[in-house]
Amino acid sequence: MLSHLRQPHFVCEEDCWYSCPLSGECCNDHDAGTACNCGADLHNQNVDRLALASDKLGWYLSAALEDSSVCQEMKTDIENWFDALNPPK
């Protein structure tokens, strides 16, 4: 659902020496190691955590949409929240 927020590993087009080792474009900078050094792994882990939390929250909000005791204004806010999570393609 939030996959559009994920980041690729950094690639430096001008000099692959500066590319992230996990980009597939790194020029054997042995000092860089084999782990992500561009922040994409951490960022994507946070996106995954946000997506999981949003999915769980979505279950509760979906139930509120069907509850007759929930006011229309709140239902509109919930629908807007769902729309914001699914941007147009």
Residue-wise pLDDT for 19-66, tens only, equals 998 998 877 667 767 899 999 999 999 999 998 998 888 888 999 999
Query: How much is the pTM?
Result: 0.68
Inter-residue contact 75 to 66 (CB < 8 Å): no
**Which helix or strand (DSSP H or E) is residue 32 part of?**
none
Residue spans per domain, the chain: 7-38, 39-89
Q: Which amino acid is at 70?
A: V
Distance CA 12, CA 38 (A): 11
